[in-house]
Amino acid sequence: MLEDEEVSPVSFKAFVTRLPQKGMPVVIDANEGQRIALAAAHDLVSVERFRAELLVAPWKRNGVRVSGRIVADITQSCVVTLEPLKATIDEDVEGLFLPADSKLGRLGFEGGGEIHVDAEGPDSPETFTGDTIDVGALAEEFFALGIDPYPRKTGVQLTSTDADDAPPEPDGPLQEKLRQLTRKT
């Protein structure tokens, strides 16, 4: 999750000490200020919509499971033309949390046992302290994962104006030595 000193623009702290067995629904519908802050934090032109529908439920003995979906409409800049490009983010949200002082939370890598990691499986549980979890920050993490890092308009390609547009070779003693070595081989 986000570092402690960073606060997510869509921060929502859910109290997790006494969750109903069926879970507690949480809906985060970002207002204009939050959407502007999200756009700035993720280098986007704009965020037109951000909605997270989550379920915060008990997991194992003292753990918490957060599941749900994030849907957002964003505008990015095309990496080729720099024109605005609209996109929709639709991501599933999954997170497991354990209290930092729980036995399962302490075992991890310090337990001396083996830890099996499945690349396609769920992430390992994160630990938390206190009685709240910032489920808004978790939703923002999945929002960030859904952003295309290299958005490009359909059909647009990066082309060179000259096929022989190679950078000039640097001159100097090292370059001369390299030329001599390549001539000998």
Average pLDDT over residues 33-37: 97
pLDDT value of position 109: 46
| Stretch 10-16: mean pLDDT | 94
pLDDT of 148 reads: 94
**Amino acid of residue 112:** G
Spans of all domains in the chain? 13-156
Average pLDDT, the chain: 84
**pLDDT for 12:** 95
User: pTM for the whole thing?
Assistant: 0.74
Residue 139 CA: distances (Å) to CA of 19, 76, 109, 164, 179? 19, 19, 26, 47, 55
Q: Report whether pLDDT(165) > 90.
A: no
**Residue 2 above 70 pLDDT?**
no
**What does the block give as tokens for 63?**
């753990």
Q: Whose CA is closest to 85, among 150, 157, 41, 158?
A: 150
pLDDT digits (tens, 9 = 90+) for 83-136: 999 999 999 999 999 988 876 655 554 555 555 556 666 667 888 888 999 999
Parallel/antiparallel/unpaired status of strands 63-77 and 46-59: antiparallel
